[in-house]
Amino acid sequence: MNDYDQDDPDDARLKQYMWGDEESVKRFHARRRSPLSEAQADVMAVANEKLWSRRVLPLKTMALVNVGILATLNRPHELHTRLRGLLRAGVRPEELREVLLQVSFYVGNPAGVDALTILVDAVDESRELGFLVHEPEVPDGWSAPT
């Protein structure tokens, strides 16, 4: 089963930004220029390609699962990078929030609260940079705490 369609603009955009926005990717590539990172890059490139080229799950589902795993493992830098990229790719903030609410319930509230805080920061930064594709929906009756 191949759920990634290169002609589908949503899948193409998701694949383009799945690893982060331009600044995140630039920092990643700068770190890979070190001879110290060559061996890991060689091993990870093969593993990444094999894992992400499987299309049993749709690409977006795989990316959302990845967000939940990063939140569970408490990898705030990588989570922030991935969230910014997915927001840039057009994933709705509410979809990301739902993944992180699952983390909160099944992993523990501290992990979920930290991850949701990172999501709020990523949404705010993406908005400031002009990259936010979808504004978060405001629930009926909601007002900001004072």
Residue 97 tokens read as 């929030």
Distance (Å) of CA 109 to CA 46, 76, 117, 118, 127: 35, 15, 12, 14, 27
The helix (H) or strand (E) run that includes residue 100 is helix 93-106
Task: Please give the tally of structural domains in the chain.
Answer: 1
The model carries a pTM of 0.78
What are the tens digits of pLDDT across the range 50-72? 887 777 888 899 999 999 999 99
What are the tens digits of pLDDT across the range 7-34? 555 666 677 777 766 776 677 677 667 7
Q: How confident is the model at residue 87 (pLDDT cuts 50, 70, 90)?
A: very high
With a pLDDT cut of 90, the percent of the chain lying above it is: 48
Return the DSSP state at 134: S
Task: Answer whether residue 136 is part of any domain.
Answer: no
Domain hosting 45: range is: 9-128
Residue 24 tokens read as 């995140």
pLDDT score recorded for residue 80? 93
Task: Answer whether residue 3 is part of any domain.
Answer: no
Mean pLDDT of all residues belonging to the chain: 83
CATH of the domain at 91: 1.20.1290.10
